[in-house]
């Protein structure tokens, strides 16, 4: 039977990139998976501390993330929703995998370089890098592999920025299985059609929760006014009319990409949508994008505000308690196989 797993860091309220690239897919899989499938979605707080976090802020973000996941349509009756740090087996399997993971492979990963704003060809052993680069940020993909493998996930829905890490997780599973018994399951990546949503202010970078400029992203809880302000100030260009050309017109193309993927029934492709909007001024085009975003996020925003009311504290903690109970049981079953295989 299928096991679907994915995770999101509690590093802020999810943005349109998280929504289109991951969360909407999570909900779709939840609603369409066969009844015998196991579905797990984790708020990966141990990943969040690979960069510095304020404890009060982190606690708040964990809760906001749980409310966000419920607001977009995850149903705790169907999906196991839990905080990663509640399930110790994730960290335990990480240690075991890290005894087999190659430093060479990890040093070719690009995420730690982009989080530290280092150039592509940086080595972890460069003198200026060595002190800045913490072990946890470097071994982030090993924890991520453990998250997936400890649940013996068969399918992992993520955005394009995670493809490399998924490849690494498969490699971890295969090498473990090769050395021991066939205990772990190499997972399949599920990429959403909206693979990569770009930043509104720097459209050559992906939209991120942790980027310093709040105007670079639209949060799924933003009001119409905030949506309007951010899209109106999104970086575009001075070319007349609307065309889809990600290479030469990254800003405009990103807005088309967003509008198309919010509702894929409005056109056949990004190119076709750009054709429909060809004669609009950029100002008028942006108004359409604002309407489309607001229309899709309205109900999410209302649900979120409701869930964040203090009287819903218990509801949220009951959901995460039950989630961690179920996730622990699932993970512990794998861990006894792993320990047995290793001779522990």
The CA distance from 287 to 75, in Å, is 33
Q: Would you count residue 206 as binding ligand ATP (CB under 6 A)?
A: yes
Size of the site for ligand ATP (CB under 6 A): 18
| Both structure tokens of 114 | 């982009």
User: Which of 26, 331, 68 lies closest to 155 in space, CA to CA?
Assistant: 26
Q: Does 274 bind ligand ATP (CB under 6 A)?
A: no
Q: Is 115 a catalytic residue?
A: yes
Considering only 3-11, 230-238, 244-252, 336-344, which stretch makes contact with ligand ATP by CB under 6 A?
3-11
Q: Which DSSP state fits 188?
A: E
* 196 lines the binding site for ligand ATP (CB under 6 A): yes
Out of 102, 210, 223, 317, name the contact with ligand ATP by CB under 6 A.
Answer: 210
- Output the CA angle 69-72-77, nearest 5 degrees: 65
Q: How far is CA 75 from CA 40, 78, 340, in A?
A: 11, 6, 35
- Binding ligand ATP by CB under 6 A: which of 33, 80, 143, 158? 158
Whether 286 sits among the annotated catalytic residues: the reply is no
Q: Is 17 in the site for ligand ATP (CB under 6 A)?
A: yes
202 lies in the binding site for ligand ATP (CB under 6 A): no
Q: Does 320 bind ligand ATP (CB under 6 A)?
A: no
**24 contributes a contact to ligand ATP by CB under 6 A:** no
First vs last C-alpha separation in the chain: 28
- Binding of ligand ATP by 133 (CB under 6 A): no
Write the DSSP symbol of residue 205. S
CB 60 to ligand ATP: min, Å: 15
Neighbours of 22 (CB within 10 A): 24
Between 96 and 207, CB nearer to ligand ATP: 207
- List the 188-191 sheet strands across, edge first: 80-83, 38-43, 3-8, 155-158, 188-191
Options 3, 21, 261, 285; binder of ligand ATP; rule CB under 6 A: 21
Look at residue 59 and give its three-state secondary structure.
helix
Query: Which residue is catalytic, options 77, 195, 209, 286?
Result: 209
Based on the shown chain and the rule CB under 6 A, indicate whether residue 251 belongs to the binding site for ligand ATP: no
Give 219: exposed, middle or buried? Use CB within 10 Å, 0-12, 13-18, 19+.
buried
List of residues contacting ligand ATP (CB under 6 A): 8-9, 11, 17-18, 21-22, 158-159, 161-162, 196-197, 206-210
Catalytic residue positions, numbered: 115, 206, 209
């Amino acid at each position: 039977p299928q096991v679907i797993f994915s995770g999101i860091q509690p590093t802020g309220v999810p943005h349109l990139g998280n929504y289109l690239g991951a969360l909407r897919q999570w909900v779709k899989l939840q609603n369409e998976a066969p009844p015998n499938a196991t579905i797990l979605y984790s708020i990966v707080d141990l990943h969040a501390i690979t960069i510095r976090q304020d404890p009060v802020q982190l606690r708040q973000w964990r809760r906001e993330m749980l409310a966000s996941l419920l607001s977009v349509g995850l149903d705790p009756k169907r999906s196991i929703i839990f905080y990663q740090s509640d399930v110790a087996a994730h960290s335990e399997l990480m240690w075991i995998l890290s005894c087999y993971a190659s430093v060479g492979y990890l040093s070719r990963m690009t995420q730690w370089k982009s989080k530290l704003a280092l150039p592509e060809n940086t080595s972890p052993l460069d003198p200026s890098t060595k002190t800045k680069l913490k072990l946890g940020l470097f071994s982030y993909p090993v924890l991520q592999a453990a998250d997936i493998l400890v649940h013996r996930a068969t399918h992992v829905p993520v955005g394009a920025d995670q493809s490399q890490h998924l490849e690494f997780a498969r490699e971890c599973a295969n090498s473990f299985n090769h050395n021991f018994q066939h205990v772990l399951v190499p997972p399949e990546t599920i990429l959403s059609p909206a693979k990569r949503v770009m930043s509104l202010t720097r459209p050559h970078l992906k939209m991120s929760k942790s980027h310093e400029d709040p105007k670079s992203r639209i949060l799924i809880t933003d009001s119409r006014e905030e949506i309007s302000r951010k899209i109106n100030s999104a970086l575009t260009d001075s070319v007349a009319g609307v065309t889809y050309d990600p290479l030469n017109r990254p800003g405009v193309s990103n807005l088309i990409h967003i509008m198309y993927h919010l509702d894929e029934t409005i056109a056949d492709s990004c190119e076709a949508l750009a054709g429909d909007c060809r004669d609009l001024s950029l100002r008028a085009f942006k108004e359409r994008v604002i309407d489309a975003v607001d229309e899709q996020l309205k109900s999410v925003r209302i649900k979120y505000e409701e869930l964040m009311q203090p009287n819903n504290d218990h509801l949220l903690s009951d959901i995460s308690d039950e989630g961690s109970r179920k996730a622990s049981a699932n993970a512990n079953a794998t861990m006894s196989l792993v320990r047995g295989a290793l001779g522990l």
